[in-house]
Amino acid sequence: MKTTPAGIDFIAGHEGFLPYAYDDFNPAKYIMPGDPIQGTLTIGYGHTATVKPGQRITEAQGKKLLAQDIQAAEDWVKRNIKVDLRPWQFDALVSHAFNTGGSSNLAKLVNGAPTVNFGGKNYNLGQWWTQTYITSKGKPFAGLQRRRNEEYKLYTENFYT
């Protein structure tokens, strides 16, 4: 299974494209060598693995990095999800894994566990998906909350159609 073109657009739309190395806490600031970084050094469409301060890329380079990062997220879904998925469900899970690195608790819930316990609280699938991974370095982000809600809606309702 592969991410659909609509799924790629979904991920790219949530990530946005910036051609320069930036701190995800302050995307408007081009990070140069020696600049302090509060969050995660990022470039292009949410790429974090090989970014260096002062780096710039073209949109074509950003799309190549996006494809590589999506492949890694697809691989995570394929390794961890054991149930059959519809294409839009796969896309939603790839988006989540792309952004978070993957969640073993989400995998348990998608694979059929009725709830998971985390921090003394039981979560069902909808609660886990929409109430976790909505912060960066402990700070709540409205964009992450919106993304988690849209991923869950895509997973459960296929809003592509």
The set of catalytic residues is 15
What string of H, E and C letters represents the secondary structure of the chain?
CCCCHHHHHHHHHHHCCEEEEEECCEEEEECCCCCCCCCCEEEECCECCCCCCCCECCHHHHHHHHHHHHHHHHHHHHHHCCCCCCHHHHHHHHHHHHHHCCCHHHHHHHCCCCCEEECCEEECHHHHHHHCCCEECCEECHHHHHHHHHHHHHHHHCCCC
